[in-house]
Structure 1
Amino acid sequence: MTIRFDNRVAIVTGAGTGLGRAHALGLAERGARVVINDLGAATDGSGASESAAQSVVDEIRAAGGQAMAHGADVSDPDGVADMVTQTLSQWGRIDIVVNNAGILRDKTFSNMTLDDFRRVVDVHLMGSATVTHACWPVMREQGYGRVVLTSSGSGLYGNFGQSNYGAAKAAMMGLMNVLHMEGARDNIRVNVLAPTAATRMTEALIPADALELMAPETITPGLLYLVSEDAPSRVMLGAGAGCFAQTRVYESQGITLQGDDLTPEQVAARFADITSAEDQQELTSAFDQTKKYVSNAAMARGLSLDWG
C-alpha cells in the first residue's frame, strides 16, 4: 500500500536544511501540508534568518504542494505557541510533528561551559518537548497524532566531545517511552529516529567518499513510515545510507542476593553472571523492572506474590 499524507498537516522543525529539509520535501511530495520551521541559525545556534525556511517553502510550492514558513526558536514557548496558532489558523489541524531542530557546541566535558551544555539541551530536549507539548492537546482532541523525536548514535552509544549533545539525544528515548504510553488511548504514536547523515553538522567529521553515501534523502523513507497512518509506536529506528535497523534496550536476567550474601564483594564476584546476555529480555515499562526484581527476591525467599 502506498503511504500518503493527503489532508494531513505536518510541522517539521529545523527544516531549512539537511535532514529537516529532506523530511519536509518527502512529506509534501506525498500530499502533506507542511510547516517549515527553521530559526535560520548557524550550527552553534547563533544568528537567525528566514531565508532557509522560505527557500524550502518556495521549493514545495513550485512542485504544487502547500507549505508555510515559521522561524520560531523551538526552545521558546511563546514562539512555538505562535507557530501552532498560525498552523491551526491556516489549516485547522496538526497531525504530524517531526522534532528535528538541533545545534552543536562540541568540546570535551572538562573544557565545556555549562552555558554551552545547557543551550544544547535546551534546543534538542526542551525544544522537542516544547513543540510536542504545544501540539499534544490538538492531537488528543483529533484522536490522531504522529510524533518523531530525533536521537543520535552519540546519545545511544556515545561520541567523544559531545556530552551535551549525547545527553540530550539519549533523553529522547525516555521521552518517547512515556509519551507512547500516554498517547496510546488517543491514537498518538511516538517514535525515535536515530539518523546518521551528511549534513552541515557532520560534513567536517566524515570522509568525502562516505558522505556521498549518506545523503539525508536516504533516511527520509524511514521517517515517512514512522509518521504514517499505520506507523508503529515506541520504536527507535536507526537510519543512514539507506540502511535501517531497530535499537532496543535489553536487561540481563541478573542475579538475586540475600542475607549474608548481599554485599558488594558478592556483586563483584558474580559480576559475570550479572552481565551475562543469556536470557536477557526487553522491558517495556519501569514497573516491569520493579516487578521482575521483587518477584525474583520473593522467589529466592520462597514467597508467592499476587500482582493482581
Structure 2
Amino acid sequence: MRFDERVAVITGAGSGLGRAYALALAERGAKVVLIDSGAQDEDKTGVESSGLESCHQDVLALGEQSMRFTLDVSDFVGVKLAVTEIIAQWGRIDILVNNAGIHSPCDFDHLTVDMWQHQLNVDLNGSFYMTKAIWPQMKRQGYGRVVMSCAASGLYGDMHETSYSASKMGLIGLVNSLYLEGIDHNIKVNSLTPHALTSMTEKRLASSVQALFSKSSITASMMFLCGAKAPTGQHLLTAAGSVSHGQFTEFKPCYFPAGSCKPESILNNWQQIHQAQPANLHRSGEDQVLAWAQRSAGERHIAIE
C-alpha cells in the first residue's frame, strides 16, 4: 500500500503515536503535515523541546516533503489558517489523522469545569475543528480519509476518566454520523482505538508487559484506514498485535405489551434484559428506530414495509 502524492495531516505529531503515524505514512510516499501544540514537550524551564522539529527532520531524511505547525487544535482560527496554507502549498489534503489529545486522570469530586472543558476542547472539539476545516477541500477533490483517535476508556469507562472517556466517546458518535455525509464524496471516516507504550501510557502498563505494546499493529491499522480501499463508518481496536472491529450492539429485547410496562416489570425482568441473546447490530439510529417500530407495530395492526 502506497501513499504517493497523497497529503496527510497528522495532529499530535511531535511524539508518541502521532510521530509514528507521520513516519509510517512518509515511508510509503506521503507528503506529511505535522501539527503539535508542543505542550507535552516542554521541559522544566518552559522551553519547547524539538519533538516537532525532530519529526520534521526525520521525514525529510526519508526523502519526503513535510510541513510543520506549532498549533493548538482547539484554536479554530489557527486551524483554518494552517489548512489554507497547506492547500496553497500542495493543492490538496487527502488524509487527516486526528491524533492530538490530552490525558489528565482526576476523580469526579475534584474535576473542575475548566478541566472538563479543556479536555473536550482538545480531544473532541479539536478533532471537529480540524475535520471541519479540511472537509470542504476533500469534497472538492472527491477524496478523503479521516481517522479519529479514540480510547478504551471511552468505549468501556475507567476510574477517574470521566472527562477523557466523554471526549473520546464523543468521537465515536461523530464518526457514526459523519461517515454518512462522506459516502457520496468518497470520503471515508473511521475511528481507531489504540493502546501502545508511550509517555502517556507507560505508567498504566506493568513493566512485564510493556514490550508487548509496540506500535506496529497500530500504524498498520492506521494506514489501512487511510488507504484507497478503506471501509467507512467503522471502529477498529488495536494493541499488542491484536486488531478487532467494534460496534455498539443491542441485546435481544424484552417486549412489554401496551400499558404493561412499569418499572416493576423491568425490575422483575432485568436479568433477562441484561443477558439476552442474540445481539442485534444496527447500521444507524434510524435502523434502531425502525426496529423499535416493527416490534410494536403488530400489536396495533400497523403494517411496516
| TM-score above 0.5 | yes
Q: Give 3-state SS (helix, strand or coil) of 1:42's partner.
A: helix
- Find the aligned partners of 1:183 and 1:145 in 2 and give their Cα distance: 8
Go from structure 1 to structure 2 and tell me whether the alpha carbon gap of 1:142 and 1:50 turns closer, same or farther (over 3 Å shift). Answer: farther
- Find the aligned partners of 1:60 and 1:48 in 2 and give their Cα distance: 23
Runs of 4+ with deviation above 4 angstroms: none
- Find the aligned partners of 2:157 and 2:254 in 1 and give their Cα distance: 28
- Find the aligned partners of 1:48 and 1:81 in 2 and give their Cα distance: 26
> CA contact under 8 A between 1:22 and 1:216: conserved in structure 2?
yes
Query: What letter corresponds to residue 65 of structure 1 in structure 2?
Result: E
* C-alpha distance after superposition, 1:87-107 (max 9, x if no partner): 111111000000000111211
Alignment map for 1:13-52 (pairs within 5 Å): 13-42=11-40, 49=48, 51-52=50-51
- Find the aligned partners of 1:95 and 1:50 in 2 and give their Cα distance: 29
Q: Does 2:248 correspond to 1:253?
A: no
Q: Does 2:138 correspond to 1:139?
A: yes
Go from structure 1 to structure 2 and tell me whether the alpha carbon gap of 1:85 and 1:49 turns closer, same or farther (over 3 Å shift). Answer: farther
1:213: Cα distance to partner?
Answer: 1.8
Alignment map for 1:220-231 (pairs within 5 Å): 220-231=219-230
- Find the aligned partners of 2:170 and 2:290 in 1 and give their Cα distance: 24
Query: What letter corresponds to residue 191 of structure 1 in structure 2?
Result: N
- Find the aligned partners of 1:33 and 1:50 in 2 and give their Cα distance: 23
Go from structure 1 to structure 2 and tell me whether the alpha carbon gap of 1:260 and 1:92 turns closer, same or farther (over 3 Å shift). Answer: closer
Which has the higher mean CA deviation after the structures are superposed, 246-255 or 30-39?
A: 246-255
RMSD: 1.7
Alignment map for 1:172-183 (pairs within 5 Å): 172-183=171-182
Query: What letter corresponds to residue 69 of structure 2 in structure 1?
Result: H
> CA contact under 8 A between 2:11 and 2:100: conserved in structure 1?
yes
> CA contact under 8 A between 2:297 and 2:304: conserved in structure 1?
no
Query: What letter corresponds to residue 120 of structure 1 in structure 2?
Result: Q
> CA contact under 8 A between 1:256 and 1:300: conserved in structure 2?
no
Go from structure 1 to structure 2 and tell me whether the alpha carbon gap of 1:104 and 1:241 turns closer, same or farther (over 3 Å shift). Answer: same
Alignment map for 1:159-174 (pairs within 5 Å): 159-174=158-173
1:86 alignment counterpart: 85
- Relative to the length of structure 1, the TM-score reads 0.94
> CA contact under 8 A between 2:297 and 2:303: conserved in structure 1?
yes
1:51: Cα distance to partner?
Answer: 2.4
- Relative to the length of structure 2, the TM-score reads 0.95
> CA contact under 8 A between 1:254 and 1:275: conserved in structure 2?
no
> CA contact under 8 A between 2:196 and 2:215: conserved in structure 1?
yes
Q: Does 2:6 correspond to 1:8?
A: yes
- Find the aligned partners of 1:163 and 1:204 in 2 and give their Cα distance: 19
- Find the aligned partners of 1:236 and 1:261 in 2 and give their Cα distance: 38
1:202 alignment counterpart: 201
Query: What letter corresponds to residue 7 of structure 1 in structure 2?
Result: E
> CA contact under 8 A between 2:217 and 2:243: conserved in structure 1?
no
Alignment map for 1:79-118 (pairs within 5 Å): 79-118=78-117
- Find the aligned partners of 1:83 and 1:75 in 2 and give their Cα distance: 13
1:268 alignment counterpart: 267
- Find the aligned partners of 1:280 and 1:213 in 2 and give their Cα distance: 32
- Find the aligned partners of 2:41 and 2:278 in 1 and give their Cα distance: 44
1:278 alignment counterpart: 277
- Find the aligned partners of 2:73 and 2:189 in 1 and give their Cα distance: 18
Query: What letter corresponds to residue 76 of structure 2 in structure 1?
Result: P
Q: Does 2:148 correspond to 1:149?
A: yes
Q: Give 3-state SS (helix, strand or coil) of 2:114's partner.
A: helix
Which has the higher mean CA deviation after the structures are superposed, 210-219 or 280-289?
A: 210-219
1:12: Cα distance to partner?
Answer: 0.2
> CA contact under 8 A between 2:10 and 2:99: conserved in structure 1?
yes
Percentage identity across paired residues of the two chains: 39
- Find the aligned partners of 1:286 and 1:294 in 2 and give their Cα distance: 13
> CA contact under 8 A between 2:94 and 2:143: conserved in structure 1?
yes
- Find the aligned partners of 1:131 and 1:142 in 2 and give their Cα distance: 17
1:255: Cα distance to partner?
Answer: 2.1
1:306 alignment counterpart: 304
* C-alpha distance after superposition, 1:210-247 (max 9, x if no partner): 22221234410010001100001111111112211111
1:287 alignment counterpart: 286
- Find the aligned partners of 2:2 and 2:168 in 1 and give their Cα distance: 29
Query: What letter corresponds to residue 9 of structure 1 in structure 2?
Result: V
